[in-house]
Amino acid sequence: MEASEGQIKRIVLKRMGRCRVCHRVYADEDVSVVSRKPDMWMMVVECEDCHAKNFVAAVLNEGDPTQAELALRRLSGDSDAAEVVFESDESGAAEPITAADVADMHRFLNGFDGDFIGFFRRSAAS
Q: How far is CA 93 from CA 7, 17, 88, 96, 98, in A?
A: 52, 43, 9, 9, 15
Mean per-residue pLDDT over the chain, rounded: 77
Q: Is residue 78 very low, low, confident or very high in pLDDT (cuts 50, 70, 90)?
A: low
pLDDT of 36 strictly over 90: no
Domain membership flag for residue 18: yes
In a domain, 64, yes or no: yes
Q: With 0-12 CB in 10 A as exposed, 13-18 as middle and 19+ as buried, what is 44?
A: middle
Residues 55 and 85 sit within 8 Å (Cβ to Cβ)? no
Confidence band for 50, pLDDT divided at 50, 70 and 90:
very high
DSSP structural state of residue 79: S
In this structure, is residue 116 part of a structural domain?
A: no
The answer to whether position 19 is within a domain reads yes
Q: Alpha-carbon distance 114 to 125, whole Å?
A: 18
Asked, for residue 24, whether it belongs to a domain, the answer is yes
Average pLDDT over residues 56-75: 77
Q: What percent of the chain has pLDDT over 90?
A: 14
Write the DSSP symbol of residue 98. P
Give the Cα separation of 102 and 36 in Å (integer): 51
- The reply to whether 98 falls in a domain is no
pLDDT tens digits, residue range 83-104? 333 333 444 456 778 888 888 8
In a domain, 40, yes or no: yes
Q: What is the pLDDT of residue 85?
A: 30
What residues make up the domain containing 13? 5-76
For the chain, how many structural domains are there in total? 1
Within-domain flag for 34:
yes
User: How far apart, in Å, are the Cα atoms of 6 and each of 31, 48, 72?
Assistant: 10, 19, 21
